[in-house]
Structure 1
Amino acid sequence: MGVMAAAASAAGSDALVERGELKITQQEFSDFFEVAIPADARAEILQDETRLRRTLAEYYVLRQLDVEATEAGVDRDPVFVKQLNRQRSEMLARFYLAELARKRNPDLAKLAKERYIDKKASFAVPAEVDASHVLIAINDERDEKAALARAQEVLAKARKGEAFDKLAEEYSDDPSAKSNKGDLGFFQAERMVKPFADAAFALKNKGDLSEPVKSQFGYHVIRLNERKPGRQKSFEEVQAQIEEQIGTELSKTYIEEELNRVRGYDVKINDEALKAFQKQEAQAK
């Protein structure tokens, strides 16, 4: 009986899957879901029945192998026990440190507001433009003078009213022009090389055309399609983001402080026992 068939047989109870002695209850799967699935992925999985069923099926496989391994006595294998103890210590220590950090309970809202005021400029949204261009490359077959003349030809045709997208398809040496017809979409100034960005952002009105502008790629004729002015994000827009960032930073700081506290304990090492261990392990190898 497949996993989904087994799940169907459990209808009417709180069991999601039953097979022999193995029963996966809603609570068990919920616990697994909480600790194994990243928080930002849970909502997506819960809204997608196919993914939810696949997650349940994968958990069933894990649990079934757990049952079989236990029946085979693998849980009593000395190597497994050693690894389990080590992992338990690591997990317990990490959980303990996280809990100590959480109990510090800083006022994240207050700290976030202070950071927002101090670094307000970093929460500004830069201006963007949507522009199209025709690129005339300078290459072995076309020197700079010929490239400029061809760019001026394109500009003259555009000023006479020829469709800019058609000109881009016909003239542009930008490989993407065949698919985007020269339209680069919205971009911030920092995304483009400076001569191009300066010329594009200097255009004021929809449909404005630039004079040919030279960049490392050749000559560009640029058409402005639309502008989006820059704006300052409000504190409310970014509060959650800042609080999460500060919380992560403080948690790391607190954890490091706790680690240093324990590292600072006055611990005496038994040198003779350590040498005996060293010798014993070297001989065992």
Structure 2
Amino acid sequence: MTRHFLRDDDLSPLEQKEILDLAEQVKADRWGRKPLAGPQTVAVIFDKSSTRTRVSFAVGIADLGGSPLIISTANSQLGGKETASDTARVLERQVAAIVWRTYGQEGLIEMAHGTQVPVINALSDEFHPCQLLADLLTIREHKGELKGLIVAFLGDGADNMVHSYLLAGATAGMHVRIACPADYLPLADVVADAEKIATTTGGSISILTDAAEAVTGADVVVTDTWVSMGKEDEKAARVASLSAYKVDAAMMALAKPDAIFLHCLPADRGYEVEADVIDGTQSVIWDEAENRLHAQKALMVWLLEQAA
């Protein structure tokens, strides 16, 4: 049966663990799995500029024996003359899977409905589920069991990383605390979905306005850029509203002594995080960036096995 990965709760708790277990295996034996041998092609579509996503998917597909076909929507019919579902029906006859870094979630949903090959959300305005698999893998490597850990996210609560942390963290049985201004809250329906998941996994969801309250006693501290792509004209207003949520040494001191710091990158040093934190001993951002490769390879292997 064809499975897609459009948002974090497309995976059950057991399936999420299966993929993270598999990620550890493929990381330990990088070239041991070749489900794309042939080579089979995977279409990797970009509406937005990218560094980590482009590199990790291209390298990961090659590691799995396949060939990445990088497509820019600026040089294709997708989003112009052709609908996402029509594009999907063309691609499915020639590729093994479709990866799309895009804007609205609705395009991914339409593409998934229109194809019989797996569709993977490489980033949308609403969710960043592949990044969360990498983050959870990184946290597991440094902390062991995910269940019961306290994760504090500081900054823009309407951020796609927040929505993914809510869903993926709840799925893993973690206690997710989001600290953000009252006018930068996460989507209410995503919060409700995460709370529902948490009731079955033993996790919890807290939406707070006090950054110190969120960080106190946390095992993991996370932030993201305050100014995402397409919001550059809002920079001054965002910096003014979010300045109390900066992760600096004093903020990290409120977390547990062995707490780790994560950031999906790119980072605006001096804004959402100070350089002494992101370059400090508690930062695991380079492990996190590398783990995009291993987590996404595991995801692709798992999805291809479901479709076999």
Which structure is larger by alpha-carbon Rg, 1 or 2?
1
Q: TM-score, normalised by structure 2?
A: 0.18
Higher helix share: 1
